[in-house]
Structure 1
Amino acid sequence: MQRVLIIAGSDSSGGAGIQADIKTVTCLGGYAMTAITALTAQNTLGVSGVLPIATDFVRQQADACLDDIGADAIKTGMLGDASMIDCVADIIEKAGVFTAVDPVMVAKGGHPLLAAQAVHTLKTRLLPLADLLTPNTPEAEALTGLSIVSEADMRTAAEALLDLGAKAVLMKGGHLDTGAEVVDLLVTRDAVHRFTAPRVETRHTHGTGCTMASACAALMREGRPLEEAVGLAKDYIGGAILMAPGLGQGHGPLRHNWLL
């Protein structure tokens, strides 16, 4: 059983954040543990409040999990500010396991989830610890300063993120206008793997970024190529989007348990 420590914020509506992460890891056969970085008041219409958790207590949560149960992988999500990023970087360095970093910056409804002054710390402390970085195109633009309007731009931005220290970058292309299909690129120093899927016209995509990164962490195994884990994760999230339950008045959640 893959033991995954999730370090991220809580979504009170259950569609994203820690709640989506736990559902994903559990439905993919893993064991989910958490170190919660913030509480949010939110629903499918947006975020109405954020309560950060003290870094010392985040560290205490993580240590309690790692010192007893241990972890095979870590997944990070919403971190909030530079001090939290430093705290989480210390935890990752201590654990020394596969780490999937979802560089959460803005909620689906547009609410900022990372302080602007923390972007430099994210780039210098956390990206070099990422075995897999999973940005969407707006996040990649914010991290690189590059404009991304095409598949070629996605590859260029991914290579820039590799230069910042990430070992592999899964560049998610769902925000780009690529017609009837969505193109994602897994870029490493050695190869580029291209994944395509039919575009699903739906507003029920809340938590897709959290779910994708957690699925990769849950599916990564010793001896399994990263591109295989990413492909399996994409199959999982594709089904979760197609079978979304249609809840809420805004960006609704996925059906994480569609495989059961």
Structure 2
Amino acid sequence: MNRPPARVLTVAGSDSGGGAGIQADLKTMLALGAHGMSVVTAVTAQNSLGVHGTWDLPQGAVRAQFRAVVDDIGVQAVKTGMLGSAALAGTVADLLTGLDVPVVVDPVGTSKHGDALLRGDAPDVVRRRLLPLATVATPNLDEVTRLTGITVTDQEGMRAAADAVLACGPRWVLVKGGHLPDAEQYAECADLLSDGRTERWYHAPRYPNRHTHGTGCTLASALATCLAQGHDVPTAVGLAKSYVTGAIAAGFPLGAGIGPVDHGWQARSLRTG
């Protein structure tokens, strides 16, 4: 009998354009050898030009999806993404409380085009109730500001950002530096991983590719997959960073706006190599 692969659950919104959200998460998990499962929190009408509408699912539907998966199939890691409202963020926090597996919290606040995906009091619920449950939180610099009030203007400021997010309760934080002001001046994109005692910087080339839709979702779901496969946090971050860097380099135009990263870049490289 074949043994099942690592089982990873994404709790996030659906991107009808296929570049981010649930769709990006499941593609990433498959590409990295895991069995991906989903709890859909919201449906978006979305394409390469932006988000044209969002509809939250009822809290009961979110609970039912979660229980159906966890109580029967089981999970080895969870990744959270778009949660939409304070009510849904609280529901997800309730469901994750007491679940003894790694949890990666991607505190998604806006889309690549600046559309709000975390509304009203939801950031406060994420800060108070969800971040304390996180094995790793993966905010970009805009999300750091939304959660802590800190504005980061250079790489040195990422240390203060990490400390501020850690004060909210996650065991580790990965502060992503891709949105630094004047980012073009940096030949590399640097992310900072910290648990408050040790820190590690991860550097990758900065590619001149505008087709980067889904980078945050992809990194967080890759990280959750690597944790489910038994890697420790620093190793898992390195593997996830390597995967998303390749996906960014291979990103392709789709529609009239910002195209997605290529989640299947490794398989395509093998076929053409």
User: For residue 190 of structure 1, what is the amino acid of its counterpart?
Assistant: R
Partner residue, 2:271: none
> Are the counterparts in 2 of residues 8 and 38 from structure 1 also a CA contact under 8 Å?
yes
What does 1:41-56 align with in structure 2 at a 5 Å threshold? 41-56=45-60
Where do 4+ consecutive residues of structure 1 move more than 2 Å?
Answer: 221-225
Q: CA deviation at 1:247?
A: 1.7
> Could you say which residue in structure 1 is the equivalent of 2:109?
105
2:246 is matched with which residue?
239
Aligned residue number for residue 91 of structure 1: 95
Q: Which amino acid aligns with 1:226?
A: V
Aligned positions, number? 260
**Distance in structure 2 (CA, Å) of the matches to 1:223 and 1:242:** 27
1:198 and 2:205 are equivalent in the alignment: yes
Task: Supply the AA of the counterpart residue of 2:196.
Answer: R
- Give how far 1:122 is off: 1.0
Q: Distance in 1 between matches of 2:229 and 2:210?
A: 36
* Cross-structure match for 2:195: 188
Answer yes or no: is the 8 Å Cα contact 1:207–1:253 preserved in 2.
yes
User: What is the aligned counterpart of 1:250 among 229, 243, 257?
Assistant: 257
SS in structure 1 at match of 2:257: coil
Q: Is the 8 A contact 1:79 1:85 kept in 2?
A: yes
Identity of aligned residues (%): 48
Aligned partner of residue 39 in structure 2, secondary structure = strand
User: Does 2:19 match 1:15?
Assistant: yes
TM-score normalised to structure 1 length = 0.97
Distance in 2 between residues matched to 1:184 and 1:120, nearest whole Å = 24
- Paired residue for 1:220? 227
Between the aligned partners of 2:209 and 2:60, the Cα distance in structure 1 is 40
Cα gap change, 1:255 to 1:222, in 2 (>3 Å): closer
Distance, in Å, in 1 between the alignment partners of 2:158 and 2:265 is 30
Q: Report Cα offsets for 1:17-70 as digits up to 9, x if no partner.
A: 000000000110001110100000010100001111001110100100001100
1: distance between equivalents of 2:207 and 2:18? 22
Structure 1: 5+ residue stretches without partners: none
Provide, for residues 62-82 of structure 1, a one-character-per-residue CA deviation record: whole Å limited to 9, x for no partner: 100001100000000000111
> What is the CA–CA distance in structure 2 between the aligned matches of 1:96 and 1:53, rounded to whole Å?
26
**Which residue does 2:154 correspond to in 1?**
150
**Separation in 1 of the partners of 2:81 and 2:231?**
24
CA-CA distance at 1:248 after TM superposition:
2.2
Alignment of 1:16-165 (within 5 A): 16-165=20-169
Whether the 8 Å contact between 2:51 and 2:111 is mirrored in structure 1 is yes
Q: How many Å apart are 1:223 and its aligned residue?
A: 5.3
Instruction: Give per-residue Cα distances to partners, 1:3-23, cap 9 Å, x unaligned.
Output: 111100000000000000000
SS of equivalent residue, structure 1 residue 205: coil
| Cα gap change, 1:94 to 1:63, in 2 (>3 Å) | farther
What is the CA–CA distance in structure 1 between the aligned matches of 2:221 and 2:104, rounded to whole Å?
A: 8
> CA separation in 2, counterparts of 1:53 and 1:224?
33
Give, in whole Å, the separation in 2 of the partners of 1:116 and 1:57: 21
Contact 1:66 1:95 in 2 (8 A): no
CA contact (8 A) 1:168 1:186 kept: yes
Q: CA deviation at 1:221?
A: 4.5
- Matched-pair contact (CA < 8 Å) for 1:76–1:102: yes
Q: Give the superposed CA RMSD.
A: 1.1
CA shift for structure 1 position 94: 4.0
